[in-house]
Amino acid sequence: MEVYRISHKTYSKALSSSGASNPWNLDREFVIYTGSTRSLSTLELVVHRNSIMKLPDYEVMIISIADEEDLYEQVPIKKLPKNWRSFESYYKLQLIGSEWYREQRSLLLRVPSAVISKEYNYIVNTIHPLFTEKVSLVRNEDYFFDARLFV
């Protein structure tokens, strides 16, 4: 399976994580956020930055993950708080992801997108024992926003 990550060129040459907290992880948990499509990754970036702005020197990272069902766990929407898309639920989502990370239950956590219904993001656990064997950076592509978005 291929997943996608948009990153500044400075950080796009290797599969690494800053360990900064985000919606599905707490601080000092080293995960990589990826989207199931380039377009979903773009919308997630826009939402995370709270704006559409030109991003010079960004690339799309195409990441290959072994297509094996036992490598991922899915978070069912019915197990999330009713208002899981809101900022108020952020910490609850972090706790769900943090438990998965600490317990090393799987290499990937498949989570529903808060931006696009019925689409998914994949959180990659970089300290999982299978990370180096099952995950690889295939290539990088130039990234751009269509100029019509800025009119």
pLDDT in tens, the chain (151 residues): 999 999 989 999 999 999 999 999 999 999 999 999 999 999 998 887 766 666 678 899 999 999 999 999 999 999 999 999 998 999 999 999 999 999 999 999 999 999 999 999 999 999 999 999 999 999 999 988 777 766 6
151 belongs to a structural domain: no
pLDDT of the residue at 148: 77
How many structural domains are present in the chain? 1
**Residue 8 is part of which domain span?**
2-142
26 belongs to a structural domain: yes
Contact 134, 68 (CB under 8 A): yes
pLDDT of the residue at 51: 61
Total-model pTM:
0.92
- Residue among 5, 124, 138 nearest 72 (CA): 124
150 belongs to a structural domain: no
147 belongs to a structural domain: no
60 belongs to a structural domain: yes
149 belongs to a structural domain: no
104 belongs to a structural domain: yes
96 belongs to a structural domain: yes
